[in-house]
A and B are shown apart, each in its own frame.
Chain A
Amino acid sequence: MRAFIPNYQLTTPASLADALALLKSEPDVWKPFAGGTDLMVLLEAGKLPHRNYINIWDLDELRGIDATDTHITLGALTTYTEIQSDPILRSEFPMLCQAASETGGLAIQNRGTLGGNIVNASPAADSPPALLAYDAEIELLSTGGSRWVPYQGFHTGYKQMHIGPDELLARIRLPRNTKGWRHYYRKVGTRKAQAISKVCFAAVSRMDHEQIVDTRIAVGSVAPIIVRCVQTENALRGRKLDTETIKLACDTLSHEISPIDDIRSTANYRLQVAKNLLTDFLLSHGLNG
């Protein structure tokens, strides 16, 4: 049933400092509200969990993309449209651009934000697999100051995450250390576009001749959180890329993910597709024996 609109508050703070002060003053009462592409769907369904929201959409401090020699840093309000048009992201972080281009249509991409995608904490979100494979770090801001934490480990369970009631996700930072690596991103849904994923796979790798020197792999929609597949990475690192290695990697992956049956797909299908995508990623390097 539709929500009763007068019950909901959406207040617009004059500054980032005012927003943080409000989060601090009444813990768990106020929640940030960005582009609305997830929260408004819940509102219409009568399932919006809180009543009081802070409109952070106009806070310029949370926008913009800045690059240094070592990192690229995105404001939490960076939209999917902005991600796709940034030249550094396009050349060095193509999986993030591809994820942005495959998230809804243009009207969603103009409003949906990278920070919102993280804190909405859907296990089917499109950008987090890329962020995990790129070793992203995130900045949490409060009146007490700023802290940067690895994105890996931020989500602790379904829709659960390490963020204080007074903290705001402010920025996302990616190390510029995968230039020249292979980047492989693939989202599998009911249709080629405009579909929520059944499995979403993101991986980067660096090879030396036939040996896998390093790799980072993350898979979405196969567990209560997006999974960084550390055991599979360890199984691959340093090995010669051959059919035996691929089998070992698929076996390891199948123990590292825990897909379920739900409205979009089945556990068996998701497991098989995850292994197929891992195989396709590994075969994309070219197999010589």
Chain B
Amino acid sequence: MLINFAVNGEQRALEVYPMARLLDVLREELELTGTKEGCGEGECGACTVILNGEIVNSCLVPVAQVNGADITTIEGVAGEEQLHAVQQSFIEHGGAQCGICTPGMVLAAVDLLQRNPQPSEADIRTGLAGNLCRCTGYMKIFESVVRACQK
């Protein structure tokens, strides 16, 4: 089937199998490899993207369901010359280690701050709850988001 959707503000038209995972279409067809595959079953959040203003696990979204949609991947988070405040904060406060969870963590935090610019600590924990990290021990990620809110 032919689908049309916007990725990071750019209109794309693609011939796809309807049940193809959005994750695979982004990575393999559009070569947007910032979106990572972790568990492939909606547990880890590594494949998080923002779909029509809400975070989703792109491994669980068949591409037929994004026809006409607006998608933001990690490649669309930074401005032309400047990183997003969340990205800058992850660099400054050691929020990234091996990097596999980082795109999902950043998008979950960006989404949280869009919905709630002054989140409580509990809001931040809940906002990141669907994203697993196996290196940092989470505190540096949590602190990166706290600091990003203060900017």
Contact = CB atoms under 8 A, between A and B. Distances in A.
B18 A9 contact: yes
Contacts of B118: none
B19 A9 contact: yes
Given A11-B18, A107-B130, A194 B43 contact: yes
B119 to A, nearest CB: 12
A286 B127 CA distance: 35
A13 B21 CA distance: 20
A108 B67 contact: no
Contact of B127 (A33, A40, A106): A106
Given A41-B42, A44-B40, A108 B65 contact: no
Contacts of B144: none
A81 B111 CA distance: 14
A194 B45 CA distance: 12
Interface residues of A, number: 30
A105 B130 contact: yes
B41 A36 contact: no
B131 interface: yes
A105 B127 CA distance: 8
A265 to B, nearest CB: 18
Contacts of A81: 54
Contacts of B57: 37, 107-108, 111
A59 to B, nearest CB: 12
A43 B19 contact: yes
A193 B132 CA distance: 12
Given A44-B59, A105-B45, A10 B19 contact: yes
